[in-house]
Amino acid sequence: MKSGEGGVPALVADSWAAAFTREHPDLAGHLVWDGPALEALEAAVRRFLRDRAGRGLPGEREVRALLHRLTGLGPLDVLLADDSITEIMINGPAQAYCERQGRLHPVSLHFAGVEDLLALVQRLAARAGRTLNPGSPVCDARLADGSRIHCLVPPVTRFPALTIRRAPLRAPRAEELLAAGTLERPLWEELQDAVRRRANVLIAGGAGTGKTTLLRLLAAAIPEGERVVVIEEVPELRLEVYHRHTVSLEAGERYPVRELVRQALRMRPDRIVVGEVRGEESLDLLEAMATGHPGSLSTVHSRGQGTAALQRLARLAARAAPAWPLPLVEREIRATVDLVIYLARHADGRRLVQEVAMRGPGGWTTRFRRDPAAGGEGPLWG
């Protein structure tokens, strides 16, 4: 039997780790342990092993072996110790990248081979309470510390592949976005005022452009005392930090976002916040916006600026109403959404508000557009 950490057989350590994870998912599911979390983990490990040891206390060798199995991620440990890294992408045993300050960098990671990488990916999925094997080759999950993982193993990919989006150590503040040039203060104040006035807000942009961050900060402008219902597939917004009267709903396979939007309508919400609309739920959200629940906020993945995001939303909503002509769906959306904010990530890694479109008495107008002639830095006010 292959020997593992501290002389404890690897299969034994794996078995202990699997059992411990089942019993203590909140303790086991972290990418990185700080001091208090590690102390809590060690205390739980000692209790876990003592319960299985019968008489006497567990030996330090066994304690260290299980701790290493639960906390160590081999070659990844070096990257995870670097707080400046926000995302890690592994395409196979010989190719990996990380993101720092919005820019991708190749990194050198040493894996003994495909089996070594596969074991690491399976171990990470286990921390999220998932199983990865040829019969279940995809894992999209959130760890207890808020980090998001996406894992693929054969047969859907030649080599095991892993993407980790790390949870921020703390949520960015509005002042930091202003200092980074994501948007200018007059525009920020105008957007906050629109939220307070119960405008229906749609934040659009590509992957990794900062949509969720901006959504969270704008939702903080919702007046105190209003009842907010939040719907997400992966909880990230944590609006209860700003609003005590917040109910957070987590969508899943049994209760998809669309069903939870319907449930939210029965909860007497003042505001409905959907982390991201990706399908038929967009129609239910639009109906909520138009029928007594103004002031809702959401994001959509779109590479089209300004009102082009409304066309994307119309195509999503049309899936739920195939009998409706697409132009009719788009017309309804244009009459319901009040504000579209488009974000883009530039080549230098900066995430910037590129365009803002507003609906007024005369229709849709561009309220703000970033001047490309200024290298993406100078705003052009509408």
- 18 — pLDDT class (breaks 50, 70, 90): confident
pLDDT on residue 3: 42
pLDDT tens digits, residue range 57-87?
567 888 888 887 777 787 888 888 888 898 9
Per mean pLDDT, which of 107-111, 216-220, 321-325 is the most reliable? 216-220
The arrangement of secondary structure in 174-369, i.e. its CATH architecture, is 3-Layer(aba) Sandwich (3.40)
Rounded CA gap, 332 and 330, in Å? 5
- pLDDT bin (cut points 50, 70, 90) of residue 379 is very low
Q: What whole-number distance in Å separates Cα of residue 104 and Cα of residue 97?
A: 6
Q: What is the pLDDT of residue 223?
A: 94
What pLDDT shows up at residue 27?
74
CB 149 within 8 A of CB 128: yes
262-283 pLDDT, tens digit per residue, is 999 999 999 999 999 988 888 8
Provide the token pair at 363: 């229709």
Structure tokens at 248: 């957070």
Mean pLDDT for the chain overall: 85
**Which distant-in-sequence residues (6+ apart) come within 8 Å of 235 by Cβ?**
142, 146, 248, 250
Task: Please give the class, per CATH, of domain 77-165.
Answer: alpha beta
Label residue 1 by pLDDT band (50, 70, 90): very low
d(CA 324, CA 331): 11
Q: Assess contact for 276 and 205: CB atoms under 8 A.
A: no
| Share above pLDDT 70 across residues of the chain, in percent, rounded to a whole number | 91
pLDDT value for 73: 81
Q: Looking at the whole model, is its pTM more than 0.75?
A: no
| Residue 17 reports pLDDT greater than 80 | no
In this prediction, residue 306 carries a pLDDT of 74
Q: Please report the beta strands in 41-84, taking only residues with DSSP state E, as ranges in sequence order.
A: none
Tokens of 126: 């286990």
What distance in Å separates the CA atoms of residue 265 and residue 272, rounded to the nearest whole number? 8
Instruction: Report residue 107 as tokens.
Output: 């990194």
Q: What is the mean pLDDT of residues 327-355?
A: 91
pLDDT of residue 54: 63
Q: What is the pLDDT of residue 34?
A: 67
- Judging by beta carbons within 10 Å of its beta carbon (0-12, 13-18, 19+), is residue 52 exposed, middle or buried? exposed
What's the CA gap between 103 and 148, in Å, rounded? 19
Long-range Cβ contact pairs of 146-155 (< 8 A, separation 24 or more): 146/235, 146/236, 147/31, 148/234, 149/124, 149/125, 151/121, 151/124, 151/125, 153/118, 153/121, 153/122
The confidence band for 169, taking pLDDT boundaries of 50, 70 and 90, is low
pLDDT given at position 283: 87
Whole-angstrom distance, CA of residue 319 vs CA of residue 339 = 23
